[in-house]
Amino acid sequence: MKQLKLVAALSLYLTISLSAIAQPKKHVIIGYVGGYRGLIDTSMVNAKKLTHINYAFVNVKDNRAWLTNIKTDTINFKNLLKLKKINPDLKILISIGGWAWSKNFSDAVLTDTSRNAFAASAVEIARKYNLDGVDIDWEYPDNIGDGNVYRPEDKQNFTLMFKAIRKELDQLEKETGKKLFLTAAVGGFKRFTEHTEMDKVAKYLNYVNLMTYDYFQDSLGIAVHHTNLYASKKYNTMDNAAKAVDDFIAAGVPAKKLVMGMAFYGRSSRVIDTTANGLGTKTDGKMRAGGFTFIKDSLVTNSSKGFKYYRDYDAAAPYLFNSLTRQFISYEDEWSIKSKCDYVNKKGMAGAMFWEYSDDKKEYLLNEINKDLK
């Protein structure tokens, strides 16, 4: 009888062990939602299709993390937390900074005193509103951004900032007993790694969210892909997502912490002539593109708008061109998203993140991410 019980126990153990081995790695799917506009319609957010929501943005003011729109921010936090009833594993983080709110990072983390106070203020927001962590989007340390203060000391202070925030989060973890996350949104280009210590920074982070989009190059004055996976052969490219991944790995960030950025919106310019269907052609102005739901439903599938769909197979990037208006639009679609997800799997990356949820309310692209990564 004892032998039978032992055999049964061993069989159960082996079954569980083999099941664990066979269980595929769960990728993260991180979606940014824009609270800076005011109240968020959280009914549009499908909690089951996400692992993390990053709430954008919290400002940096007087050396502290600062809720600029506290009335709507607090309502948004409350409504986002309700999504956990649908997906109990969903994590809600505050994202501090962004393009327009990074002006004061350098001052806020300049000294031990200011840095520790900033870290405490950031984690206090997570504590007060029962959130799951902090995301930092500093654009950019020791480099030019949107009128931001920057100085050489940023390189080391960037690291020390994350050390201080992680310390505060560890203390809050002890108080609450729940895991808290620290992540960073980083420029998807080599220059970012040259002005930071990403090997040291990565030790404090759960995930590094690569902003592998906005690769428009005003200095070149030509129409280019803004979120391409690989280099195009149609023009001399400076940046692409695959290069960014390699650059960050070379800088000391483990692939398992890297998150591929995906753009749920397009970027557009007007070109000077119809050569090469716009791609790589000189531009003479910017134009509006819109989010993917609009692009797909109103431009791609509506021939009366005059746009024609093209694929740059070298870059794994689609684009639209209207020969009458000379409007060029670079964007992601289901095809390019699949290419990026395949790349995530191939490189052993942590998953995908996107900016921003409201740009694709019909979830065309989010559905593709879920299909490929879940």
Reply yes or no on whether the pLDDT at 19 is more than 60.
no
Domain of 357 in residue numbering reads as: 22-263+333-373
Read off the pLDDT of residues 346-373 as tens digits, 9 standing for 90 and up: 999 999 999 999 999 999 999 999 999 9
Mean pLDDT value across residues 318-344: 98
Please give the pLDDT value at position 12: 45
The residues facing 60 across adjacent strands are 65
Reply yes or no on whether the pLDDT at 18 is more than 50.
no
Please give the pLDDT value at position 287: 95
Report the alpha-carbon distance of residue 332 to residue 278 in Å, rounded.
Answer: 17
Please give the pLDDT value at position 219: 64
Does residue 9 form part of some domain? no
Does residue 60 form part of some domain? yes
Q: What is the CATH number of the domain that holds 112?
A: 3.20.20.80
Does residue 67 form part of some domain? yes
Does residue 37 form part of some domain? yes
Report the alpha-carbon distance of residue 205 to residue 162 in Å, rounded.
Answer: 8
Residues annotated catalytic, as ranges: 139
Q: Which band of pLDDT confidence, cut at 50, 70 and 90, is reported for residue 218?
A: low
Read off the pLDDT of residues 40-79 as tens digits, 9 standing for 90 and up: 999 999 999 999 999 999 999 999 999 999 999 999 999 9
Does residue 352 form part of some domain? yes
Mean of the per-residue pLDDT values of the chain? 93
Does residue 339 form part of some domain? yes
Please give the pLDDT value at position 354: 98
User: Which 3 state secondary structure label does DSSP give 257?
Assistant: helix
Read off the pLDDT of residues 68-106 as tens digits, 9 standing for 90 and up: 999 999 999 999 999 999 999 999 999 999 999 999 999
One DSSP character per residue, 296-360 reads IIIIIS-GGG--EEEEETTTTEEEEEETTTTEEEE---HHHHHHHHHHHHHHT--EEEEE-GGGG
Reply yes or no on whether the pLDDT at 181 is more than 70.
yes
Does residue 323 form part of some domain? no
The total number of structural domains that make up the chain:
1
Does residue 301 form part of some domain? no
Residues in the chain: 374
